[in-house]
Amino acid sequence: MDSVDRTSVTPSKSRLARTIAKVFHIRAVTGVAPVDGNQKTKSYERVKVVDDVSYTNSESFDEDNEKLRLRAATDAFLARLFASMSTVKAGYAQLQFAQSPYDADGIQAADQMVVSELKNLSELKQCYLKNQLDDSSPGKTQMLAELQEQKSLLKTYEIMGKKLDSQLKLKNSEITFLQEKLADANRENKLIEKRLNSSGLLSVPDTLHLSSLGPNHFVTVLRQTVKYIRTFVRLMINEMELAGWDLDAAASAIEPGVKYWNANHRCFAFESFVCREMFDGFNYPYFSPGKGSLPEQPKLKQLFFNRFTELKCMKTREYLARKPKSSLGKFCTSKYLSVVHPKMESSLFGNLSQRNVVKSGEHPETTFFATFSEMAKRVWLLHCLAFSLEPQASIFQVANKCRFSEVYMESVCEEPFLPSGGTMEPAVAFTVIPGFKIGRTVVQCQVYLS
């Protein structure tokens, strides 16, 4: 029997193997696999995982929404709270403003506002304690609350502005009243000063005793002396201008090399000259060293105090007419001849007749000499008072171009005239009014600064 070829009857093993491999490959690609008779796909498993994640995200989203809602409600509650407090503050400010001046209607309206807002605050407190915050429309609630707060603040500022305006009006009325009082006091002082000047008396108490003398009395007399010095200097300058004098040249002759910040400051040079001549020898009892014998110190003080007391109550012209050879008369004669140069007198008055009368020991009754004698009397009284004090007052002046010191000096100008932006310290050009020392007390000298 002929043999049969097996490949022609039964499929070959290799072909079957290839077929099975293809089936498994398809299952692997489609995700179909036999598990206990049930088939599960990979796509189903993926959908299940996505659903789990979506469920978790939904819970987190709801939780965040609840937090945001609670926070918005809290913010709205706080806005209402602060708005109500601002309203209470505005009502209290209105209540205060309505009390002065008294306004019954304003007080009642402010009281109702405050009571109403206190009730509102009480309701807000109860809502907070019961955790019943209004969360229906927190954005709108917060906006309305902020608007209410701004209105309350604006009202408070308006009330404060009205209050400040009323205070300003009150202060202005007080200033006007004080200015009127000051003007009345100045007029009264001028009348008193005019009466004192016309009478030739000093504003020193009549009951003044030697034991009660002090630096303050000396300063009072010094101030009046300076006033009379400046009165005489003004009269002298006026006479020089009428006579056609070159005042710049005259001032330069007195204080050479000084540059004045103002043309009117030339008068300080003439004041310096008059003071220098009038106070020359001030530290000596008789304005000159070795002139006459001196009594013992207690008697010397009493002597000068008696002269001061006698002379301060008398008019200068009457005293000189009655006692032309007195110490004051001799002082006036010597100082007039020293201050008024013959050339000056001849230029001012056209002759030397007045000078000749003074030289003879008499005192002419002219306006020029009368003004001079009033000044001389004040210097003489100041000198008598200086030797009546314990310790005795002494005179001093500072050298030109020395450094300015606020302890010993004061400027005759209201402000120091210094170059703008300069760092140089002011220097003394010359002394105008001398200074004085009374023990440890210093009466500043007046200087002109360069």
**Per the structure block, which two tokens stand in for 257?**
């090399």
Same domain, 258 and 393: yes
Does residue 137 contact residue 72 with C-beta atoms inside 8 Å?
no
Note whether 238 and 350 are same-domain residues: yes
Taking only the tens of pLDDT, the chain with its 450 residues reads: 444 444 444 444 445 445 444 544 444 444 444 444 444 444 444 444 444 544 455 666 667 777 777 788 777 778 888 888 888 888 878 777 787 777 788 788 877 888 888 888 887 878 777 777 766 777 777 788 788 888 888 888 888 888 888 888 889 988 989 998 898 888 888 777 666 555 555 555 556 777 778 888 899 999 999 999 999 999 999 999 999 999 999 999 999 988 888 888 999 999 999 999 999 999 998 888 766 666 677 788 888 998 898 888 888 888 998 888 888 999 999 999 999 999 999 999 999 999 999 999 888 989 999 999 999 999 999 999 999 998 899 999 999 889 998 889 999 886 554 544 555 677 899 999 999 999 999 999 999 997
Pairing mode of beta strands 445-449, 428-433: antiparallel
C-beta separation of 304 from 384 below 8 A: yes
Residue with tokens 């609840």: 66
Backbone angles phi, psi at 33, to 5 degrees: -145, 140
- Is residue 27 within a helix (H) or strand (E), and if so which, with residue range? helix 13-30
Boundary residue ending a domain (137, 167, 197): 167
Is the separation of the CB atoms in 375 and 278 below 8 Å?
yes
Q: Give me the domain span that covers residue 350.
A: 210-449
- In a domain, residue 224? The reply is yes
Interatomic CA distance for residues 253 and 184, integer angstroms: 44
Are residue 240 and residue 101 in the same domain, yes or no? no
Domain count, the chain: 2
Q: Are residues 315 and 391 in the same domain?
A: yes
Residues 6+ apart with CB under 8 A from 127: 77, 133, 134
Q: Report if residue 19 sits inside a domain.
A: no
- Residues in contact with 450: Cβ distance below 8 Å, sequence separation at least 6, in sequence order: 258, 259, 401, 426, 427, 428, 429
Instruction: From 132, 167, 202, give the residue that closes a domain.
Output: 167
Q: Give the helix, strand, coil percentages of the chain, each rounded to 5.
A: 65, 5, 30
Domain assignment present for 200: no
pTM attached to this predicted model: 0.56
Strands 428-433 and 38-39: unpaired
Residue finishing a domain among 143, 167, 191: 167
Shared-domain flag, residues 214 and 121: no
Helix (H) or strand (E) holding 436: strand 435-438
Contacts (Cβ under 8 Å, ≥6 apart) of 277? 335, 338, 339
Q: Beginning with the edge strand found earlier in the chain, give each strand of the sheet holding 435-438 in spatial order.
A: 393-396, 435-438, 441-443
